[in-house]
Structure 1
């Protein structure tokens, strides 16, 4: 029978590369560790790993179990922590996964009033799930997923909580500031800065450039909003961001905002949750707080 210790051993050996190091981490003898895996291999009728010189190499069965270990072990740890919190009468931690670079600044403004109202609930923001958060939500690694692009799947619910417009950010002396709106053709000779995301998940491409079959002169990726807009302010290129975020930076840097197309690009921030979690009071309260968040420019969600 496959047990938790087997997954811990496989994970530890993969992480450290040897039985000796894995045994030390797990506080067992090397011989006990070897005996446990040999017994598992006998029960399964297949090898978990084979010797490759001085190191161990996982077999196909071992790689499969490693994948299970990577998913199951964090889930078990999380479950144990949650059960301990329940036993102590605590509500625990609300774990939020991010699938949106600029949404982080928006989230910070929602977290503050939530923490004031829910003193017995902590918040943990996890960004390692960027562009893969649905799996983390289904695996109970996070409780909420912040995303502008909901992926509807059985067992999940995505609720729109914030409307915004995607706009073009340019230097204040840029030629495009004289226009009512920019066309895709206007970006053909521009250097475009974006976050390091696949192009098909960037609104500026999917909803603006690609339909017009326009490719900007150059596309550069920047990890952080601050550096990206410093580059734009210095005349190195242009960028596409939510209007609310762009206008905040316009008060700090010599930047201007230009609408993308005559009708603009309308977007929403969604909070994704598991369908069965609708009865968790603090989770529901966070969603309601996000909906009623008073935007810095004075726009209030209804």
Structure 2
């Protein structure tokens, strides 16, 4: 059995569907100022308009919110409950908007990026252009001179994000896994190694290896396969432009070792073949590395989120 009080409360609750924020501000201001006359200036409305609003409110509620006296307006018991409810709602709204302002304030900043893999410099400009459209308040700079020492530059605050293929061991930094790819040996179809199902580490002893740049420690095939096995190719040439390096390979003057995705923007000759390295393939991981102190910055988090979506390839 539902008693009268419960029914009445339920009826009031249903009537509150129409309650707008302006009504809570109206009740709060009149209660604190003591009258409609004193509230008019604060609410930027005439006394007549405020009286009309209050009258409409009380008619829809079905009870008086204020006791009117000549010199002082005071809340009814029901009015006190509405006043307390309104205070809670308005404080929550103000708090949320302050949080939003803080979030938005953290959405602006400059991010200096570098990568130890030259292949990324072919794809990053397109990503930077996309970020410029989505996040006009984030300024992205590519710092090419940090390519050979991205972690050192990150620790010295010369860059903000490093793209690397191995996690650094430093308590000041944190790493985010991006993706794993495979490195292939890229060669002319008439190269004698093209007859093999896959290349082993010993096959690199007599090759002319074309790399992007020195030092060798920045070259994935050297760091992950050749160096651990103490293999040095017969000849090594550093050619920073991928297009020129491909022409060398097309002329059968050497081989390159790169993931397939790095060559998507190039026209690959039918004379070029891709050979797996090692029976299971030579894999490498990619990580975004940032300073732990930057994790709280929203514009850094926005970069990481979008970079992960853009470059997470299998």
| Superposed pair shares fold, TM > 0.5 | yes
Cα gap change, 1:254 to 1:93, in 2 (>3 Å): farther
Give the Å deviation of 1:230.
Answer: 1.4
5+ long unaligned stretches in structure 2: 1-104
Give the Å deviation of 1:217.
Answer: 2.0
Out of 182, 185, 189, the residue aligned to residue 172 of structure 1 is 189
Q: Which residue of 2 is the match for residue 151 of structure 1?
A: 168
Out of 276, 285, 293, the residue aligned to residue 259 of structure 1 is 276
Cα gap change, 1:184 to 1:248, in 2 (>3 Å): farther
Q: Which residue of 2 is the match for residue 231 of structure 1?
A: 248
CA deviations on 1:213-239 (whole Å, 9 max, x unpaired) are 433221222222222221111111011
- Bigger Rg, structure 1 or 2: 2
Cα gap change, 1:137 to 1:178, in 2 (>3 Å): same
Residue 270, structure 1, aligned to residue 290, structure 2: no
Cα gap change, 1:248 to 1:222, in 2 (>3 Å): same
Give the Å deviation of 1:252.
Answer: 5.5
Q: TM-score, normalised by structure 1?
A: 0.62
CA deviations on 1:84-106 (whole Å, 9 max, x unpaired) are xxxx9981322112322112123
Aligned mates of 1:173, 1:250 — CA distance in 2: 19
Cα gap change, 1:235 to 1:156, in 2 (>3 Å): same
Equivalent runs, 1:1-302 vs 2, <5 Å: 91-246=108-263, 248-249=265-266, 251=268, 254-293=271-310, 300=313
Cα gap change, 1:147 to 1:210, in 2 (>3 Å): closer
Query: Which stretch of the first structure deviates more once superposed, 199-208 or 122-131?
Result: 199-208
Q: Are the equivalent residues in 2 in contact too, given 1:152–1:158 (CA < 8 A)?
A: no
Give the Å deviation of 1:211.
Answer: 4.2
Q: Are the equivalent residues in 2 in contact too, given 1:102–1:245 (CA < 8 A)?
A: yes
Q: TM-score, normalised by structure 2?
A: 0.60
Query: Which stretch of the first structure deviates more once superposed, 146-155 or 162-171?
Result: 146-155
Cα gap change, 1:125 to 1:253, in 2 (>3 Å): farther
Q: Are the equivalent residues in 2 in contact too, given 1:246–1:257 (CA < 8 A)?
A: no
Give the Å deviation of 1:174.
Answer: 2.6
Give the Å deviation of 1:191.
Answer: 0.8
| RMSD of equivalent CA atoms | 2.5
Count of residues in correspondence between the two structures: 210
SS of the equivalent of 2:190 reads: coil
Aligned mates of 1:219, 1:152 — CA distance in 2: 30
CA deviations on 1:121-180 (whole Å, 9 max, x unpaired) are 221111111222223222222211122233221211121213211111101333333332
Cα gap change, 1:118 to 1:96, in 2 (>3 Å): same
SS of the equivalent of 2:249 reads: helix
Aligned mates of 1:267, 1:229 — CA distance in 2: 22
Aligned mates of 1:168, 1:143 — CA distance in 2: 32
Aligned mates of 2:188, 2:120 — CA distance in 1: 23
SS of the equivalent of 2:146 reads: coil
5+ long unaligned stretches in structure 1: 1-87
Q: Are the equivalent residues in 2 in contact too, given 1:208–1:260 (CA < 8 A)?
A: no
Q: Are the equivalent residues in 1 in contact too, given 2:165–2:285 (CA < 8 A)?
A: yes
